[in-house]
Amino acid sequence: MLQSLINNFTVLTTFLFFGNMAWGKCQAYNLQKNNRTKLILGLILGLFGVALMYYTFPINSVVFADFRQLPILISVSLGGWIAGLVSTVIIFVYRLAFLSGVSMTSVWGAVNALGTFIIAILFLKDYKLILRKWIWATVLSAGFSMLVFSIILDDENKWAPIGTFCLVFIVGGMFTFAMLLYLKRSDDSLRIMREAAHRDFLTGLYNARAFEVIMEQKIASSTRYHVPFTLLLIDIDHFKQVNDTFGHPAGDTVLSQLAAVLRDTFHPGDHIARKGGEEFAVIVDECDSNQIEIIAERLRRNVENHIFNLPDGTELKMTISAGSATYPDMAEQLLFERADQALYQAKTSGRNRVCRAASF
């Protein structure tokens, strides 16, 4: 029995580890709430439940137990009722018809899977790993299994092995919860670190390094699909005076609030970055040289009309200067240079204005 238990925990650990890697990919592409992904999750966990049926440990000389209920609990907690139903149906049908043929034992074994699904729906359908709810689901699932075994077994000494199974199952359930929670926290920490590596710490916008990568990808995509985009470079007018007069915390406040104005002005598909200091850059997607004049002017007005509130309660009015260059009107290697030249023209011609680089 000890060897069988070790095999169960080994299979369970291996599946959770590699399954979490695949689930993390779904998270990266925001597929976790997709019904197709839930169906696939239910299918995989259902097959995992089938595999666990072959790693049994004995209750007595004729009845064997396994951890097949755990994939059902996992599927409902990660994928809701859709994933849980798919995994339950797979385990139900396989246990009833394929494992050892139709018999009273197989019928009750299939019913056990259905009971676990109902318990999981009652406690775990909210996509969250909550210890109290998981304990309730695990204990009730073990209790339902205990009831099933008490019906199947006709043995005066059945309660000792049944109690042993329930204890082992609860331990397995808590081990599963600990593994899921550990993997989730590890994924969250890794995601935060990756996000921090690509974000400016003050504004939350992309940093300069990430923006360079995005620019390369955008150029390649624009070339492939023949969709123009515009690079817009932005500089805050007289920003040094804010730092000199009110201090650097006030300057940081202005930068943070300008980032909010940028987010409100541009679409979610546009990429906004802080290049450094008071300089910002935006990749305006699907935008040609004529459209950028309207968009950039809207940004200029939004900034001009915005009231910047400093930490000491002072209210400021700020303006920006901006320069743009459009691809493929502008050669790839000249894009930044021409946009920067247009920005310089805007600043030298009076500030608080936008200029567009001429096409070559």
Give the closest residue to 185 by CA, choosing from 12, 24, 14, 74: 24
Residues in the chain: 360
- pLDDT bucket at 29, cuts 50 / 70 / 90: low
Three-state DSSP at 30 gives: coil
Which residues belong to CATH 1.10.1760.20 in the chain? Answer: 2-198
- 344 contacts 323 by C-beta, under 8 angstroms: yes
Tell me the C-alpha distance between 325 and 335, whole Å.
Answer: 6
The answer on pLDDT for 211 being more than 70 is yes
Q: Which residue carries 């690079």 as its tokens?
A: 231
Q: Hey, which residues does 57 pair with through a beta bridge?
A: 65
Q: Which residue carries 């500030």 as its tokens?
A: 351
Tell me the C-alpha distance between 303 and 16, whole Å.
Answer: 50
Q: What pLDDT digit, counting tens, does each position of 166-207 carry?
A: 888 888 889 888 888 888 887 777 776 776 778 898 999 999
The answer on pLDDT for 12 being more than 60 is yes
Q: In the predicted model, what is the mean pLDDT of residues 134-149?
A: 90
DSSP per residue over 232-286, as a string?
EEEEETTHHHHHHHH-HHHHHHHHHHHHHHHHHHS-TTSEEEEEETTEEEEEEET
Q: In the predicted model, what is the mean pLDDT of residues 32-42?
A: 78
DSSP per residue over 92-149, as a string?
HHHHHHTSS-SSHHHHHHHHHHHHHHHHHHHHHTTS---HHHHHHHHHHHHHHHHHHH
Query: What is the second-level CATH architecture of the domain 208-356?
Result: 2-Layer Sandwich (3.30)
The answer on pLDDT for 25 being more than 80 is no
Share of the chain above pLDDT 70, in %: 89
Selection from 52-61, 170-179, 346-355 with the highest mean pLDDT: 346-355
Q: What pLDDT digit, counting tens, does each position of 270-294 carry?
A: 999 999 899 999 999 999 989 999 9
| 101, two tokens | 């043929």
Query: From its phi and psi, is residue 80 left (phi > 0), alpha (psi between -120 and 50) or beta?
Result: left
CATH for the stretch 2-198: 1.10.1760.20
pTM: 0.59
Tell me the C-alpha distance between 235 and 280, whole Å.
Answer: 6
| Chain centroid offset of residue 95 CA | 35
Selection from 4-8, 149-153, 321-325 with the highest mean pLDDT: 321-325
Which residues belong to CATH 3.30.70.270 in the chain? Answer: 208-356
Q: In the predicted model, what is the mean pLDDT of residues 81-90?
A: 91
Q: What pLDDT digit, counting tens, does each position of 240-257 carry?
A: 999 999 999 999 999 999
Tell me the C-alpha distance between 306 and 257, whole Å.
Answer: 9
Alpha carbon distance, N-terminus to C-terminus of the chain: 78
- 269 by Cβ neighbours in 10 Å (0-12 / 13-18 / 19+) ranks as exposed
The answer on pLDDT for 20 being more than 90 is no
